[in-house]
Amino acid sequence: MSVPFWLVIPAAGVGARMAADRPKQYLQIAGRSILEHSLHCFLDHPGLLGAIVCVAVDDPFWPLLPVANDPRVRRAPGGRERADSVLAGLQMLLAEGAGAEDWVLVHDAARPNLAKQDLDRLLVSLADDPVGGLLAVPARDTLKRASADGRVAQTVDRSVIWQAYTPQMFRLGALHQALSQALQAQVAVTDEASAMEWAGQSPRLIEGRADNLKVTRPEDLHYLQSLWPRGH
Give per-residue pLDDT as tens, 64-84.
999 999 999 999 999 999 999
Closest CA to 135 of 77, 182, 203, 48: 203
pTM of the entire structure?
0.94
Of the candidates 91, 124, 123, 96, the one whose C-alpha atom is nearest the C-alpha of residue 107 is: 123
- Rounded CA-CA distance 203/190 in Å is 15
End-to-end alpha carbon distance in the chain: 27
Tell me: the pLDDT tens digits for 183-219? Answer: 999 998 999 999 999 999 999 999 999 999 999 888 9
